[in-house]
Amino acid sequence: MDTIDKLKLLSDASQYDLACACGTRGGPDHRVRGEDGSWLYPVSMPGGGYSIMLKTLVSNVCSNDCGYCPFRESMDVRRCTIGADEMAKLFMDYVRRRRLIGIFLSSGVVGTPDNTMELINGTAEILRRRYSYRGYIHLKVIPGASDAAIDQAISLANAVSVNIEVPGEKHFTALSRKKDFLKDIIAPMRRISQLTDRGMRYQRVRQTTQFIVGAADESDAEIVKYTSGLYRRLNLNRVYFSAYQRGLGAEAIPGERRVDVLEGDGFVREHRLYQVDFLFRQYGFCEEDIAFDERGRLFTDRDPKLVWAERHPERFPVDVNAADLPTLLKVPGIGPLTAKRIVKMRKGGARIFSADGLPLKGKRLALAGKYLKY
């Protein structure tokens, strides 16, 4: 294959790794296929709007046995690898032809974790040193990589990620016999956390991770517990969730055997988990605020913030003219921007006498109105 054919194959394979926060389904802020077959991903910018990032594997060759992965060692698929020089040159050609914010590099395991990190880090180093590229680089840290390889990745990247995949060693063992959860996944995440902690040399580097929802027989409660712990103990910047796509993995893994999963159920779980994640990061909720059904699953028929409100009638109605920001954020229908606008209105001397005075409309206004007083 020539370089473009390789890129088509490898960028398509990279769609299963969401740890760079790339959307996948519909809308102007989601990925699009380039003319040459590569996947281009819009990335939200701090000042608003979106810019474009190229996302690809450097290789889909893999010596691992992860049961959820369509590119595990036992699968009969087309394999190829793009070398560091080749990938760096290809990306810079992209940069010259169109505006790209950066690149996300991941890979299957080519022989050993460190051999693979040489390909990933080597590409980033060529971009930084030879081409003086100062744009955004997100590097996947391969499970089991050495401390030296991890340190080099952090020195070259704006963001790094080690995908945790499942909540805990028990579930991880069911998916892979070759990888060790504590040694190959948790230990690298801890090292990245230490090197990127506040006050450290690489504090500007972001760390993210991803759960594959439904690949094992894990409960939502287990995923939520681990997500909370990752934010509190390892200071991760983002946790992402990807619904396991049945049929891609090995038939022997727990997620394939389960009979209680309906078509599309994984995507509902993924959506609810993202709602919990937003409650943690933007609404001041903690693990103890999240409610589950008797199976440890989030409620599929209503969002977790509404469930919390229904279970705490003593906290409502909230006085919209007196409540502080954290209290307003507990009100169903009110998000961070609306809560801040209400506080700003009050500081300006305004008083809200009815629902008509709220910076809300439609269904959100109707919902919030049930939990407010004036």
Could you count the other beta carbons within 10 Å of the beta carbon of residue 258?
Answer: 13
Distance CA 361, CA 363 (A): 7
| Terminal-to-terminal C-alpha distance of the chain | 68
Q: Which two tokens stand for residue 38?
A: 């590569």
- CA angle 136–142–8, rounded 5-degree value: 60
- Cis-peptide into 317, omega within 30 deg: yes
Beta strands in the chain (DSSP E): 32-33, 39-44, 50-57, 102-106, 136-140, 159-161, 206-213, 238-243, 318-319, 372-373
Distance CA 39, CA 42 (A): 10
Q: What is the DSSP string of 100-144?
A: --EEEEE----SSHHHHHHHHHHHHHHHHHTS---SEEEEEPPTT
pTM: 0.87
Scanning the structure block, which residue is given the tokens 């595990």? 72
pLDDT tens sequence for the chain (374 residues): 788 888 878 877 776 665 555 544 444 445 555 555 555 555 544 445 555 788 889 999 999 988 888 888 888 888 999 999 999 998 998 888 776 778 999 999 999 999 999 999 999 999 999 999 999 999 999 999 999 999 999 999 999 999 999 999 999 998 899 999 999 999 999 999 999 999 999 999 999 999 999 888 899 999 999 999 999 999 999 999 988 876 665 554 544 433 344 445 678 899 999 999 999 999 999 999 999 999 999 999 999 999 999 999 999 999 999 999 999 999 999 999 999 999 999 998 899 999 889 999 999 999 999 999 99
Is the separation of the CB atoms in 175 and 216 below 8 Å? yes
Regarding beta strands 372-373 and 32-33, do their DSSP bridges make them parallel or antiparallel, or are they unpaired? unpaired
Task: Mention every residue, 6+ apart, whose C-beta is less than 8 A from residue 222.
Answer: 167, 168, 171, 296
Q: Over the Cα atoms of the chain, what is R_g? A: 22
In order of 63, 102, 330, 331, 342, the CA distances from 345 in angstroms are: 59, 39, 19, 17, 5
Rounded to 5 degrees, φ, ψ at 33 are: -85, 125
